Structure 1
Amino acid sequence: MIFSNFHTHSYFCDGIGNPEEYVLKAIQSNFNSLGFSSHAPLPFSNSWTMKEEDVNRYLNTIINLKKKYTDTIQIYLGMEVDYIQNLISPTDEKFKKLDYTIGSVHMLKNEATGEYLAVDGDEDEYIELITSAFNNDVKAFVHKYYEQIQTMVLKNTPSIVGHLDLIKKHNKNNKYFDENEDWYKLEIMKTLNVISKANTILEMNTGGKVRGYTNDFYPSNWIVDECRKLNIPLILSSDAHNPSYVNAYFEEASAILKGAGYTNQHVLLDNIWQTAPL
């Protein structure tokens, strides 16, 4: 198996540890490549993305690590870029110098107040989204989230689509909606059909389980089965916010992929996206 991880966050955003600590952990874990994907700055105040004034330092830090470890591990420079319609997207000009982007939807707008609230923030914010922004209509909330992912993939296609069903982060044991109901599965299938037609990769993200929010990964096992039927390429990632989690649950996630019929994952090696055996 080719070991790699392209979804990592250091102290440049909401992770802990400096980037070199992630590199050293990846080398210790026999990785072939490692990608850095700090949260790109958002055009409004928040506590979890990189600050605009730190972007150049981030870029230079990763570039210098590339050079320092060039004979040991391949290092790639990316960002996790939010898609917020008419505000920011993974294909904005300023991101074209990166090796890759992870496109994610974290924020939804409360049309009544103009405020943007996080799908994966604290649970009170999640409740506020459902109750205030969507008037207690959980189906409308879920629909808007997946609609934003579909629009991003269609119009501003990232290299990798991040944590597809992040909306379930606070929904352990179906607390707010039943993920087994047909209406929910229909939203997923609409989104997968869009992804299957795009030149992009979907990640198998272990981060929710790593941090204790979910019992499984992003996406859920049944979604992985559907991805295989649609021939959607997948990549393993841990969404590491701590160097010790660079390869967290990779063996378990790999077994799920194999169980769904995948024999390969996608990786960035020698500056080319290519398949590698699981």
Structure 2
Amino acid sequence: MRDGHIHTPFCPHGSNDSFVQYIERAIELGYTDISFTEHAPLPSAFVDPTPEQDSAMAMEQLDSYISTLQRIKKQYQTDITIRIGLEVDFIIGYEEETARFLEEIGPELDDSILSVHFLPANGQYFCLDYSPDMFQAMTEAFGSVSLAHEAYYHAVLQAVRADLGAYKPKRIGHLTLVHKFQKQFPCPVSMAERIVHILDEIKARQYELDYNGAGVQKPLCKEPYPPHWVVHEALKRNIPLVYGSDAHCARDLHQGREQMVREAFSESTL
């Protein structure tokens, strides 16, 4: 029982639930292996486009985050495996700064995820999963929902291919995050070919996929990231799947997991 994607009290848009609350809840649910993967500090020159600029922890918090987890990891070492990790943003145009950051922090980490949350359009960046309003503004900047989806999957492909050094995360976060508001902004064009191409690139590099339960609970999504057909394609390619609750509070742990496992593996075992 592993959860490879958990946020923490260091998340400025999360909750104040303590590490202990997350850990005790994980143990209660039967987990034996968890990764705390807080949003890594954004590049210093990048301007967070969210209204509160609260997408990630501040750089000055990073040492405290690592040292706190090192202490707690030892405290619980006989009860549960705790991995110190980060969810690192791949932002087009900031690859060099991201590589330098990973070179510095990589030796301190046990786990990491590489995700796309921000897309550039018309000279500005948008946080694609922040709100329906920002998503709509982003689609208008690109010209359509389908063009926004194309830009997202192009960015994910670039993330997979990018040379970010020896400590580049080997797990790709919530592959279909652009689906978060799909019930309000459905994409009229199939992205299946692009997604399968990304899977082939992931397989070629022996990377993993974050099998993320957060979308199951999102009212405008109602499916995991990625959805089940993508999981089946990943399984065909023997791409490792790592369940991630993407919990931002302790009660979010385990979200979507039972439904995901049941549906994702039902066809693959036939």
TM-score (norm 2): 0.87
| Range moving further from structure 2, 156-165 or 89-98 | 89-98
SS at match of 1:7: strand
The counterpart of 1:4, out of the listed 2, 5, 9, is 2
Q: Can you give the 5+ residue segments of structure 1 that lack an aligned partner in the other structure?
A: 264-278
**Residue 95 of structure 1: how far off its partner (Å):** 3.4
Report what 1:76 is aligned to.
83
Report what 1:176 is aligned to.
186
SS at match of 1:109: strand
**Residue 84 of structure 1: how far off its partner (Å):** 0.9
SS at match of 2:5: coil
The counterpart of 1:102, out of the listed 97, 113, 130, is 113
SS at match of 2:191: helix
The one-character-per-residue Cα deviations of 1:90-144 (angstroms, maximum 9, x if unpaired) are 783133121111100000012x33x211110111111111112x1x233332122
RMSD: 2.0
Report what 1:266 is aligned to.
none
Identity %: 28
Does the alignment pair 1:24 with 2:31? no
Report what 1:38 is aligned to.
38
Distance 1:228 1:34 in 2: 22
Distance 2:179 2:73 in 1: 35
Distance 2:249 2:269 in 1: 28
Indicate if the aligned counterparts of 2:245 and 2:255 stay in contact, CA closer than 8 A. yes
Report what 1:276 is aligned to.
none
Does the alignment pair 1:142 with 2:149? yes
Indicate if the aligned counterparts of 1:228 and 1:262 stay in contact, CA closer than 8 A. no
Flag the 1:212–1:138 CA change in 2: closer, same or farther, 3 A: closer
Q: Can you give the 5+ residue segments of structure 2 that lack an aligned partner in the other structure?
A: none
SS at match of 1:212: coil
Report what 1:208 is aligned to.
215
SS at match of 1:6: strand
Distance 1:99 1:213 in 2: 33
Report what 1:242 is aligned to.
249
**Residue 190 of structure 1: how far off its partner (Å):** 1.7
Distance 1:58 1:188 in 2: 34
Distance 2:221 2:105 in 1: 31
Flag the 1:188–1:99 CA change in 2: closer, same or farther, 3 A: same
The one-character-per-residue Cα deviations of 1:22-58 (angstroms, maximum 9, x if unpaired) are 1111111121111100101113342121111111111
Flag the 1:158–1:55 CA change in 2: closer, same or farther, 3 A: same
Report what 1:15 is aligned to.
14
SS at match of 2:6: coil
Indicate if the aligned counterparts of 2:157 and 2:198 stay in contact, CA closer than 8 A. yes
Report what 1:164 is aligned to.
175
TM-score (norm 1): 0.85
